[in-house]
Amino acid sequence: MPIYCYENKGGDVIERVYLVNQERPKGFMLNGYWYTRSFQAENVGTPSAAGWPIECLASGVHADQAGELREHFKKAGVPTEVSADGNPVYRNAKHQKKALKCRGMHNKASYS
C-alpha cells in the first residue's frame, strides 16, 4: 500500500496510507490545521524526518579520537556533532551523506 505525505504551513509532515484504487484527498483538516499533499516529502526516498537525528555507531571512532573527528568534519566544511564516545550525530539523510563522503565512506543501506 502506498504512503502519501501531507504537510501543514508549519512544516509538520504526516503520512497516510491509502489503497492504490482508493481516492486520496488533496487536503484535509486535522486538529485545526489544514494539511495538503506534499510531493516533496514523498520523493525523498528515505523515511520521513522521524528518527533523526541519529547517533551512528558504525561510522564512529574510538572515544580518544572524538576531537580529531570533530576537527576533520570542521575542516571539510561539514560541521558535525560527535558524542563523547566518538560517534557522529547526523541531523538528516543529506547531512549523513555529506559527512560520510568527506571521510571516504558511504551508506550502503541509503536510498540517496
Q: Is the peptide bond before 53 cis (omega within 30 degrees of 0)?
A: yes
**CB of 34 within 8 A of CB of 18?**
no
pTM, whole model, 2 decimals? Answer: 0.55
As a whole number, mean pLDDT of residues 6-28 equals 89
Task: Show me where the domains of the chain are located.
Answer: 3-42, 54-101
For 37-66, write each residue's pLDDT tens digit: 998 888 765 555 567 899 999 999 999 999
At 35 the three-state DSSP class reads strand
